Structure 1
Amino acid sequence: MKISHVTPVLIVKNGEATIGDTLDALSSFKKVIVYDNGSEDRTLLIVNEYANVQLVQGAFFGFGITKNVAASHAETAWIFSLDCDETPDQALINNIADWHPKDDNCVVEIHRENFFCGKPIKTNGWGNDILIRIYNKEKHSFTKSQVHEKVALHSDSCKIKLSGKLQHTAITDLKQILDKAQLYSEIYANSNKAKLYSFPIIILKTCFAFLRSYLLKLGFLSGWRGFVISVGDTIGVFFKYAKVYQKNKSGYIQ
């Protein structure tokens, strides 16, 4: 019996490395929505191999808005939001199948386990990752944030947690760290949340980003992986503020 009261929804661009594993894990669901925003690799060929997947192609409007657009294509009110590099384990799938919501204002928190080059990471802020991933789209939606989007709550919202995990293949190749730093810094620099700082302050923020990730968030306990994650955090912080500075340097502190 297929799970029909909840629809998994994911957005993707060039996700050929992981989307097959994600869709394999979602085979128990009657319908899965995949919203593709311009893949140029084998993603579309892979997606079309799955009979329970509805492929939607459209533009990218920033992560929050795009996830809301993708969810609008689901026939059910209840949405299970995933990324194309996340796979629910069997315990989580079983609990979703047995869960029958009585309050449309409830949202469901899920524990996400983050993997870096084949190993789960509990340092660098990657360990205690509890995220709202199941919600009723008639009562909740994602914020309109370009990056770091989340399900917006209101006064009637209530939280529950389902056992099981989302296994997140965050990094399989170090190139992805640079790709993500480029993507997120570019989105931030062009968003209405971009903040302009003097260059000395940018340098201080960059240095603190490394110290926070490697020392305060115990990245050193994860060996070379923890060090690389800390460097990636540092690069991301530097470029998101440096790009804003570049765009606004005329007439500003030089």
Structure 2
Amino acid sequence: MLSVIIITKNEASHIGRCLESVAWADEIVVLDSGSEDDTVSICRQYTDKVYETDWPGFGIQKQHALDKANGDWILSVDADEVVTSELRAEIEKAIQQGNCKGYEIPRLSSYCGRQMRHGGWWPDYILRLFRRDCGRFTDSVVHENIIVQGQIGRLRSPLLHDAFVNLDEVLHKVDSYSSLGAEMLYQRGVRSSLGKAVLKGLWTFIRTYWIKAAFLDGRQGLMLSISNAEGAYYKYLKLLELQNRQPR
């Protein structure tokens, strides 16, 4: 039995396509955290296992969704991702054979209308398919991982990811993820300065655009490199702000 788990918040523009692509699964579990659009009503057209709760962070939230699943195998997908028919066939074969306890899946992400093949975005292997009794999520507030006890394999067919549909999404996610990233760094004892924030942003641009060859993805490659640099700059600037808020 395969359970698909998805966490959501205000994903009405994406979630229908995602759910349609996994409608073949034995069970779909959706955990929503206060959507103000039609996300929940759309989800209920595909599954009766839609739960609403608060927001504790990405890792903890995905673990809560995992705890509500009943399948022997778990496929974790995000609301802006799509499972193709080719990937479905590979997943079903992997489950039937049962050679590994978990599988990494290559993710092909799009940025403002273009599927990105460079800039560190491809192949973006992520562990998303695993046996429920062998895996669990880390409790990171952002950039969570799945820890699996046992052998890990790899599938070939990509998971399609609409990472950034337009510039509004780019700006929103840069702001959101830089805030979460700053909080995580602060909790780990990392400290920042204005100079460090500038250097982190500059290095991120150089690494994305030149070293990882985002320039080969044309205009979107340049846009991606700039937004990555902005994300790094603001993350360390917000970390500095967190430091300055603390009493001396």
Name the TM-score, length of structure 1 as normaliser.
0.90
CA contact (8 A) 2:196 2:236 kept: no
Name the CA shift for 1:198/1:163 in 2 (closer, same or farther; >3 Å): closer
Aligned match of 2:241: 246
The amino acid of 2:79's aligned partner reads C
Q: 1:106 aligns with which of 101, 107, 119?
A: 101
CA distance in structure 2 between the partners assigned to 1:194 and 1:239 by the alignment: 18
> Percent identity over the alignment?
29
Change (3 A) 1:198 1:24: same
Which of 158, 163, 168 is the aligned partner of 1:165? 158
Q: Deviations over 1:151-195 (max 9, x none)?
A: 1244xx201223322100111111111111111111122232362
Q: Secondary structure at the match of 1:56?
A: strand
1:182 and 1:236 in contact (8 A); partners too: yes
**1:10 aligned to 3, 6, 11, which one?**
6
Question: How far apart, in 2, do the equivalents of 1:116 and 1:168 lie?
Answer: 9
The aligned counterpart of 2:168 is: 175
Residues 31 and 53 of structure 1 are in contact (CA less than 8 Å); yes or no, is this contact kept in structure 2?
no
| Count of residues in Structure 1 that have an aligned counterpart in Structure 2 | 244
Structure 2, unmatched stretches of 5+, are none
Alignment of 1:122 with 2:130, yes or no, is: no
Shifted more, 37-46 versus 183-192: the winner is 183-192
Q: Which has the higher helix share?
A: 2
Aligned residue for 1:148, secondary structure, equals: coil
SS at the partner of 1:163? coil
Any conservation in 1 of the 2:2–2:75 contact (CA below 8 Å)? yes
Partner amino acid for 1:6? L
CA RMSD of the aligned region, Å?
1.8
Cα pair distance change 1:75/1:159, threshold 3 Å: same
Q: Is the 8 A contact 1:195 1:241 kept in 2?
A: no
CA distance in 2, matches of 1:150, 1:139: 14
Maintained 8 Å contact 1:194/1:244 = no
Deviation of the 1:251 alpha carbon: 8.8
SS in structure 1 at match of 2:91: helix
Distance in 2 (CA, whole Å) between partners of 1:217 and 1:95 is 29
The equivalent residue for 1:33 is 29
* 1:122 Cα offset (Å): 0.8
Post-superposition CA distance 1:53-86 (Å, at most 9, x none)? 5101112211111111111111113210000000
Please give the alpha-carbon distance, in whole angstroms, between the structure 2 residues aligned to 1:173 and 1:193.
Answer: 33
Task: Name the SS for the 2:109 alignment partner.
Answer: strand
Q: 4+ residue runs of structure 1 moved beyond 3 angstroms?
A: none
| Unmatched tracts of structure 1, length 5 or more | none
Equivalent residue runs for 1:50-199 within 5 Å: 50=46, 52-98=47-93, 99-100=95-96, 102=98, 106-154=101-149, 157-191=150-184, 192-193=187-188, 195-199=190-194
State the TM-score, normalizing by the size of structure 2.
0.92
